[in-house]
Amino acid sequence: MKSSIKNCFGLALAIAMVATVAAQEAATEKGTASPAKVTSEPAKSPPVAVAADNSQCFVCHINFEEEELAATHRKAGVGCVKCHGPSRAHKEDESNMTPPDIMYAKEKINPACLKCHQPAKLGDIHESVLAGTDPKNKYCTDCHGEHHLNHRTRIWDKNTRKLLPRTAKGQGTKG
Ligand code: HEC
Ligand code: HEC
Ligand code: HEC
Ligand code: HEC
């Protein structure tokens, strides 16, 4: 088990490095290379985002490796832990009773996204979303990514963090 984790880590690191180069190339092509303004650490010399390492979360959440919201942000240096917290107790709890550090009840989603994405810089399509007048697409994650679990073994109340009975279906899925 230990060594397979190590191998996974090495592989993920290699993938991360390749992804970083790809991201750099893409950024240069688009002319959008911007400093990584997402960490509080002092900026390092190359002003290009370093892909985040999500390997510790992929151990169980492999389905989020390709998912668009997670993948775009991972390449920009924003890993799972940036949005969900380090979640140490969660990832180390083999009986899966402990929730991650940060969960998002629906009303917390947009404010969380808008911490990094200034409303004024978003395209026109966002006008009704920001005004809250689009009845169908209220939340950023309604259009961006497929960041949802369709099958779950555990469900927590996202506000109280309490483990809910397994019969509480539909919680945390879209809609
Ligand atoms: C040991 C396995 C395991 C690891 C490692 C793990 N998780 Fe989880 N995680 C789970 C399980 C089980 C659930 C419950 C959903 C389910 O049944 O798939 C879950 C659910 C979640 C949820 C959904 C919470 C909600 O809103 O309902 C988030 C967010 C999450 N994990 C984040 C993370 C992050 C971030 C990491 C890496 C730091 C991580 N997990 C690592 C097993 C794991
Ligand atoms: C910690 C900061 C941070 C948070 C929080 C965040 N983002 Fe991002 N996001 C970034 C960075 C950095 C990039 C890559 C650079 C860029 O395009 O702005 C990015 C890129 C994106 C892109 C791709 C933009 C493009 O030009 O292709 C979308 C779409 C996006 N984010 C949506 C969201 C949504 C939706 C949320 C909330 C669930 C969110 N972001 C939360 C930092 C963040
Ligand atoms: C009605 C669907 C919809 C909703 C809801 C939505 N977006 Fe978008 N967003 C789009 C589309 C379409 C684009 C442009 C095409 C693309 O690159 O995906 C876009 C582009 C972006 C971009 C790239 C910059 C830009 O404006 O072109 C960012 C960043 C972004 N959205 C963030 C957000 C955030 C943050 C929210 C929540 C406040 C949000 N989006 C809600 C549809 C949506
Ligand atoms: C840019 C911020 C951001 C990043 C990066 C991010 N998440 Fe999330 N995550 C969210 C938000 C916001 C929600 C709530 C989505 C919703 O309810 O529509 C969420 C929800 C989830 C859920 C619960 C889905 C459900 O159906 O209840 C899981 C599991 C999860 N994330 C795991 C991960 C993992 C694993 C990673 C890294 C691979 C990750 N997230 C990266 C912001 C993020």
Give the domain-ending residue among 87, 102, 117. 102
> φ and ψ at 156, to 5 degrees?
-110, 155
**Residue located nearest, by CA, to atom 37 of ligand 4:** 80
Asked which of 81, 102, 123 is the last residue of a domain, the reply is: 102
7/77 same-domain check? yes
**Are 43 and 69 found together in one domain?**
yes
Segment 142-150 shows an average pLDDT of 95
Cα distances from 11 to residues 17, 53, 84, 134, 142, in angstroms, run: 10, 11, 23, 43, 32
pLDDT value at position 117?
98
162, pLDDT greater than 60:
yes
> Does 158 sit in the ligand 4 pocket, CB within 6 Å?
no
Q: Each residue of 69-113: pLDDT tens digit?
A: 999 999 999 999 999 999 999 999 999 999 999 999 999 999 999
Q: Is the CB of 117 under 6 A from ligand 2?
A: yes
Q: 45 C-alpha vs ligand 4 centroid, how far in Å?
A: 30
Tens of pLDDT along 108-131? 999 999 999 999 999 999 999 999
Domain that holds residue 152: 103-175
| Cα of 155 from ligand 1 centre, angstroms | 10
The pTM is what? 0.84
d(CA 152, CA 66): 19
For ligand 3, residues with CB inside 6 Å are: 110, 113-114, 117, 122-123, 125-126, 129-130, 137, 140, 142-144
Write down the pLDDT at residue 24: 47
Q: Which residue has the higher pLDDT, 159 or 12?
A: 159
Q: Is the pLDDT of residue 25 over 90?
A: no
> How confident is the model over 34-68, as pLDDT tens digits?
444 444 555 555 567 899 999 999 999 999 999 99
* Statement to judge: residues 25 and 91 lie in one domain: yes
pLDDT of residue 2: 40
Nearest ligand, CA 128: 3
Q: Which listed ligand is nearest to 155 at the C-alpha?
A: 1
Please give the residue that has the higher pLDDT: either 105 or 14.
Answer: 105
pLDDT score of 31 more than 60:
no
The total number of structural domains in the chain stands at 2
Ligand 1 atom 38 nearest Cα: 57
pLDDT of residue 46: 57
Residue with CA at minimum distance from ligand 2 atom 15: 76
Alpha carbon of 16 to ligand 1 centroid (Å): 21
